[in-house]
Amino acid sequence: MQNVAEESAPQGGLRERKKRATRAALVEAAVRLAAEHGAENITVEAISETAGVSPRTFFNYFDSRDDVFVMIGAETSARLRRAVLEAPAELSPLQALRHALAAELAEVEQHHELWRLHAEVLRRSPRLLVRSLGVHAADELGLAETLAERMGADGPAAPSAGEESRRSALGLYPHLLAAVCVTAVRVAFEHWCVRQEERTFTDVFQETFDHLAAGLPAPSGTAGRP
Amino acid sequence: MQNVAEESAPQGGLRERKKRATRAALVEAAVRLAAEHGAENITVEAISETAGVSPRTFFNYFDSRDDVFVMIGAETSARLRRAVLEAPAELSPLQALRHALAAELAEVEQHHELWRLHAEVLRRSPRLLVRSLGVHAADELGLAETLAERMGADGPAAPSAGEESRRSALGLYPHLLAAVCVTAVRVAFEHWCVRQEERTFTDVFQETFDHLAAGLPAPSGTAGRP
DNA sequence: CGCAAATCTGCAGAGTCTGCAAAAAAGAGT
DNA sequence: ACTCTTTTTTGCAGACTCTGCAGATTTGCG
């Protein structure tokens, strides 16, 4: 039951490795098929056949057909939360989160071919895009919890009781900060998708967070000024 | 296509009134049934029978069964955009949007019984909640367009060509402002849902936007907070 | 090798959703 | 009042999604 010596190894038993491989195969098959033929024209049967499993097995991994298109960033959330906790203590909450996000984005760059296909699929399917937006927004609660932990106690102490109904134990500020930053990353990503040739993503990302940190004032050269 | 003398009347022809009535009946039937028996146990057949139409007609109004649970604020978006355009010209973009939101929230208070049931349904169905988050986030594109219009040209002129692919014509700032504000309203709403007895929604709403306007600095007493 | 647990698979069946064409209703003209 | 056109509703056939169940297969372990 206990972990014997699996601290540095990235995988657990052989079983878990196979599960991860199957899941990854299903996701990759789905994304590639959808990028070519359009997400709406891909059936579960086609995906599972490409991945080499039965249609029934598909539903052992995903609750619905659409889930396979929006569950790519599953591991990102956990990494992000750890990075927030490990950020230098002298940073403000916003700065710490910005720092953690920048590190995570570098990670994503590794798999950028699949991410690019994924973005293409979402762009051509408004229904799936909406679903994806919702999933990312749902991440923010966990992130808000982590921010509250960082703000409340720097050490690993104070696991407050009452783990159920996490919303009620959270202050407004951590929830707002997490939600706004998740949103800001999404906007930066969408903006960059349209202008990939003109600017680097890091550039757009930094400008976005500069707006946030400044309190969202009207940009200099606009008609309606305060 | 042109409006002849329907400026003050809230409805168009008799046909449109009946359509709106049918749609509202379907939404209300769905929400009430779901609030009682749980959203997952309600079939399209049950909803349409309660609303007095055929199951096939249901799908003439909603693309999927779940849509009926997340399409309540459909008219809110249009009203909000109009309010943004009509806001006093001397307000900054953020102030104008804050003003418009406050007005719209008063409107929602009218139907608060249905909204309360709706919130209950979403709270007990994570799947639908995620879907709802996505739909609200999708509203932001239209709002961003309106903000850009307000910032770019105060008058009713300049309906720029190229209506398709609206993202590419938008600057980063309007998109970010719209997305962040929509998110902020959602966070304020969720926070208030948990503490309805302690504070008014307007109160939470104002605090939320104060945080935003200040650039999300860490609140004063961060270290030791019970 | 043999046992126990987890996983994969096929199958039956309920529910979702779409295209099509006919019936019913609403609006407009004569 | 009557007809004609357009819109909306409806039933039906059929494809697809998703679930529960039971048996076959694979993995982990002694």
Residue spans per domain, chain A: 14-65, 72-213
Task: Give the model's pLDDT for residue A106.
Answer: 80
> For residue A128, what is the nearest residue in chain B, using CA coordinates?
B134
Give the mean model confidence (pLDDT) for residues B35-62.
97
Could you tell me the two tokens for A16?
A: 């878990």
The minimum CA-CA distance between B148 and chain A, rounded to whole Å, is: 10
Q: Per the CB < 8 Å rule, is B207 touching A92?
A: no
Confidence grade of residue B161 (pLDDT, cut at 50, 70, 90) = very low
Residue B33 has pLDDT above 70, yes or no: yes
Query: CA A146 → CA A91, A138, A154, A156, B92, distances in Å?
Result: 15, 14, 11, 11, 33
Q: Which of A38-42, A205-209, B199-203 has the lowest mean pLDDT?
A: B199-203
Choices 2.30.110.10, 1.10.10.60, 1.10.3480.10, 3.40.50.920: CATH for B14-64 = 1.10.10.60
Residue B174 has pLDDT above 70, yes or no: yes
Spell out which residues of chain B touch residue A214, defining contact as CB-CB under 8 Å: 215
Tell me phi and psi for residue B69, to 5 degrees.
-90, -10
Q: Which of B118, B173, B115 is nearest to B143 (CA)?
A: B173
Q: Which of B166, B114, B124 is nearest to B143 (CA)?
A: B166
Confidence grade of residue A83 (pLDDT, cut at 50, 70, 90) = very high
Gap between the Cα atoms of A14 and A21, Å rounded: 11
- The answer to whether residues A93 and A6 touch, using CB atoms and an 8 Å cutoff, is no
CATH number attached to the domain at A72-213: 1.10.357.10
Give the mean model confidence (pLDDT) for residues B9-34.
87
Candidates B63, B179, B187; nearest CB to A176: B187
Task: Give the model's pLDDT for residue B42.
Answer: 97
Gap between the Cα atoms of A61 and A67, Å rounded: 9
CA B110 to chain centre: 15
Candidates B135, B186, B223; nearest CB to A130: B135
Give the mean model confidence (pLDDT) for residues A88-95.
92
**What does the buried/exposed string (b/e) look like for B128-165 if buried means 16 or more CB atoms within 10 Å of the residue's CB?**
bbbbbbbbbbbbbbebbbbbbbbbeeeeeeeeeeeeee
Q: Per the CB < 8 Å rule, is B130 touching A129?
A: no
Choice between A67 and A138, residue whose per-residue pLDDT is larger: A67
Q: What is chain A's percent helix, strand, coil content, to nearest 5?
A: 70, 0, 30
By the 10 Å C-beta count (0-12 exposed, 13-18 middle, 19+ buried), A222 is classed as: middle
Residue B30 has pLDDT above 90, yes or no: yes
Gap between the Cα atoms of B181 and B173, Å rounded: 12
Could you tell me the two tokens for A221?
A: 């050269």
Choice between B48 and A11, residue whose per-residue pLDDT is larger: B48
B52's CB contacts (< 8 A; 6+ apart) are B25
- The predicted-structure confidence for A182-214, as pLDDT tens digits, reads as follows 999 889 888 887 776 788 888 899 999 999 999
B201 touches strand C (CB under 7 A): no
Task: Give the model's pLDDT for residue B4.
Answer: 37
The minimum CA-CA distance between B43 and chain A, rounded to whole Å, is: 17
Task: Give the model's pLDDT for residue B51.
Answer: 97
B193 CA to C2 C1' in angstroms comes to 58
Residue B163 has pLDDT above 90, yes or no: no
The rounded mean pLDDT for chain A is 83
Residue A14 has pLDDT above 50, yes or no: yes
CATH number attached to the domain at A14-65: 1.10.10.60
- The predicted-structure confidence for B54-79, as pLDDT tens digits, reads as follows 999 999 999 999 999 998 877 788 88
Residue B109 has pLDDT above 90, yes or no: no
- The predicted-structure confidence for A123-149, as pLDDT tens digits, reads as follows 899 899 989 988 888 888 889 999 999
Share of chain B above pLDDT 70, in %: 84
B141 CA to C14 C1' in angstroms comes to 38
Q: Which of A180, A105, A172 is nearest to A136 (CA)?
A: A180
Residue A52 has pLDDT above 50, yes or no: yes
Size of chain A, expressed as the number of residues it contains: 226
Q: Per the CB < 8 Å rule, is B167 touching A129?
A: no
Residue A220 has pLDDT above 90, yes or no: no
Residue A118 has pLDDT above 60, yes or no: yes
Q: Per the CB < 8 Å rule, is A208 touching B172?
A: yes
Confidence grade of residue B157 (pLDDT, cut at 50, 70, 90) = very low
Q: Which CATH architecture has domain B74-213?
A: Orthogonal Bundle (1.10)
B57's CB contacts (< 8 A; 6+ apart) are B22, B48
Residue B165 has pLDDT above 60, yes or no: no
Confidence grade of residue B155 (pLDDT, cut at 50, 70, 90) = very low
The single-letter code of the amino acid at A136 is: H
